[in-house]
Amino acid sequence: MEGFTHRQLEKSLIAWLRLASCLFLLFFSATISASNSIEGVRVWPSPTNTRVVFDLEAQPSFTYFTLQNPDRLVIDFSETSLTADLSGPEHLNELLQRIRTSTPKNQQSTRIVLDLASPVTPNLFAMPPTEPYGHRLVVDLPYAIQQSQPTVVKRSDESDRDRDIIIAIDAGHGGEDPGSIGPTGTYEKNIVLSIAKKLAGLVDGEEGMRAVLIRTGDYYISPNRRPELAREHKADLLISIHADAFTTPQPRGGSVWVLSTGRADTELGRWMERTERHSELLGGAAEVINDATSERYLAETILGLSMDHSMATSHDLSEKVIAEMRKITRMHKTRPQAASLAVLTSPDIPSILVEVGFISNPQEEKNLNWAKHRQRLAESVFTATKRYFQAVPPDGTLWAANKNSVRQHKVVSGESLSLLAQRYNVKVSSIKAANNLTNDVVRIGQVLTIPTI
């Protein structure tokens, strides 16, 4: 009896060991198979598309397909588990109605479904770790192209004469691209968007000027697309706002950048290869030029002159911006700097890039987080821009028309700038700018230019 009991115990023990081994192998196999995990999801809506970003523990392995009636995008993550919460209302907008899971291909996979309001042609791509993010799968969902509005023929008295000077203001980075990050975690993209909006407010508050914000919210626009957007808005100037950074905290101060000559030559060649742009840049002249060789020669000549003018304008304006900014903050560079920056490569729009300081410097990060400092920086850039266009307003603008009817006043005893400003219904600052005055003192007999704006 005792021997039988021992044999029973031995068999039972062997059975339990086998079962435990099987369970261990199953668990270990599942652990290896699900070697990745979805740890978060973020949504970045923009005027042209919605970007969905999945944060993952490791590089994603995935396939996807679309379905209709209703419209859906289905993404299968292989060997991946899900730890993220997909139920947040911040994930939803007019295009993206819901993010949910569905039955996966197998136990080691995760199937994510994006319920959509309309059909899309998605663009999916993986991104390697870049601070502050790890591995990501990016899903771009472009909006449907709206039906173009019919062309309206203007009467002769509704022409673009006396139009506004249009300033395109570009806040760098955005969305998935935070830009530089300060010691306490300040994102460059947030700082520069705030300054850009303040600058736009100043521009819009000036009669005869109008601002166009290239980026109005927290979303990404490629650097090459930004000058294209400025052109679509027929901008007279593009100002790109950034904050600098370095590997050590010591560097500080602002700077202003223009396109380098080498880069300009390269871009000019690139533009010449894009023959479909000839008609656009020639402003209709190509329509009456039948010979392709002649058209190319004329386009090359016009583009070359346009590029030279844009670069000269950019350099002149940069010097004025530096002169104003140094009243507000320390300047890292006291002369305009030239570099190969994609946002500056438009041959027909003067463009500058303003670095408002080093966000990697603890003191400057603190300053940039101060709303009043950001307002002062915006005011310095605005003052320089206004001074430049007062001197050389673009043809066809209100400012150009007003400049042709300049008034002059000879100062007599008892007159002051404030009295003259009230009499002529202009600002004291406008009189000072028009006459390059550094203070409010005027002399008897002094002849002042009285601006009409």
Residue 119 is part of a domain; what is its CATH number?
A: 2.60.40.3500
Structure tokens at 279: 């008609």
3-state secondary structure of 240: strand
Quick one: pLDDT at residue 158? 44
- E-assigned strand segments in 172-284: 209-213, 237-244, 255-259
Query: Looking at residue 176, which CATH number applies to its domain?
Result: 3.40.630.40
Has residue 299 been placed in a domain? yes
| Per-residue confidence in pLDDT tens, the chain, 453 aa | 445 566 665 666 666 666 665 555 555 444 445 689 999 999 988 888 899 999 999 999 999 999 999 999 999 999 999 999 887 766 678 899 999 999 998 999 999 999 999 999 999 998 888 778 889 999 999 987 654 444 444 444 445 568 999 999 999 999 888 888 999 999 999 999 999 999 999 999 999 999 999 999 999 888 888 999 999 999 999 999 999 888 888 989 999 988 876 654 555 445 443 433 433 333 333 443 444 555 555 555 555 556 667 778 888 999 999 999 999 999 998 998 887 777 777 777 899 999 999 999 999 999 999 999 999 999 999 999 999 998 889 989 988 887 776 678 888 888 888 888 888 888 888 888 888 888 888 889 898 888 766
Clarify whether residues 223 and 372 are in a common domain. Answer: yes
Q: Would you say residue 18 lies in a domain?
A: no
Q: Tell whether 186 and 328 lie within a shared domain.
A: yes
Distance CA 359, CA 377 (A): 14
Q: Point out the domain boundary residue: 108, 142, 176.
A: 142
Distance CA 169, CA 134 (A): 31
For residues 443 and 331, state if they share a domain. Answer: no
Residue 146 CB coordination number (10 Å): 6
Position 59 scores a pLDDT of: 93
Range of the domain at 385: 163-391
Has residue 152 been placed in a domain?
no
Whether 93 and 199 share a structural domain: no
How many Å separate Cα 395 from the centre of its chain? 28
Which pair of structure tokens corresponds to residue 142?
């472009």
Same domain, 90 and 48: yes
Contact 54, 124 (CB under 8 A): no
Q: Mark which of 344, 367, 391 sits at the end of a domain.
A: 391
Number of other CB atoms surrounding residue 372 within 10 Å: 8
Considering all CA atoms of the chain, what is the largest pairwise distance in Å, rounded to the nearest integer?
132
Same domain, yes or no, for 345 and 435? no
Sign (positive or negative) of CA dihedral 434, 436, 442, 443: negative
**Distance of alpha carbon 12 from alpha carbon 368, whole angstroms:** 72
Residue at 401 is within a domain: no
Q: Is 66 helix (H, G, I), strand (E, B) or coil?
A: strand
Q: What phi, psi does 354 have (nearest 5°)?
A: -105, 115
CA distance readout (Å), 386 to 24, 268, 399, 430, 449: 74, 29, 10, 9, 16
Residue 250 contacts by C-beta under 8 Å, 6 or more apart in sequence? Answer: 361
Q: Based on the domain organization, do 188 and 268 belong to the same domain?
A: yes
DSSP string, 85-135: ----GGG--SSEEEEEEE--SSTT-EEEEEEESS----EEEEE--BTTB-E
Residues 175 and 322 occupy one common structural domain: yes
Query: What element of type H or E holds 432?
Result: helix 428-434
Dihedral sign (CA 297, 303, 306, 308): negative
Question: If we measure between CA atoms, which residue out of 376, 382, 374, 378 comes closest to residue 433?
Answer: 382
Residues 100 and 44 in one domain: yes
Is residue 43 situated within a structural domain?
Answer: yes
Per-residue pLDDT at 150: 42
| pLDDT at residue 32 in the model | 47
- The per-residue pLDDT for 314 is 87
Whether 19 maps to a domain, the answer reads no
pTM above 0.85, yes or no: no
Rg of the Cα atoms in the chain: 31
Does residue 196 sit in the same domain as residue 231? Answer: yes
Helices 371-391/188-204 angle, 10° precision: 50
Pick from 107, 142, 177: which residue ends a domain?
142
| Residue 154 included in any domain | no
Residue 114: predicted pLDDT: 95
Number of neighbouring beta carbons within 10 Å of residue 206 = 20
Contacts 24+ apart (CB under 8 A), 422-427: 424/450, 426/450, 426/451, 426/452, 426/453
Same domain? 197 vs 239? yes
Q: What is the pLDDT of residue 274?
A: 47
349 and 420 inside one domain: no
Burial class, 263, CB count within 10 angstroms (exposed 0-12 / middle 13-18 / buried 19+): middle
- Rounded Cα distance, 193 and 196, in Å: 5
Q: What is the dihedral of CA 384, 385, 388, 391, to 10 degrees?
A: -110
State the sign of the Cα–Cα–Cα–Cα dihedral 46, 238, 352, 262.
positive
Q: Is residue 17 part of a domain?
A: no
Return the CATH number at 419.
3.10.350.10
Amino acid making up residue 383: T
Chain-centroid distance, C-alpha 91: 22
For the chain, the domain total comes to 3
Residue with tokens 């993986």: 126
How far apart CA 9 and CA 15 sit, in angstroms, is 10
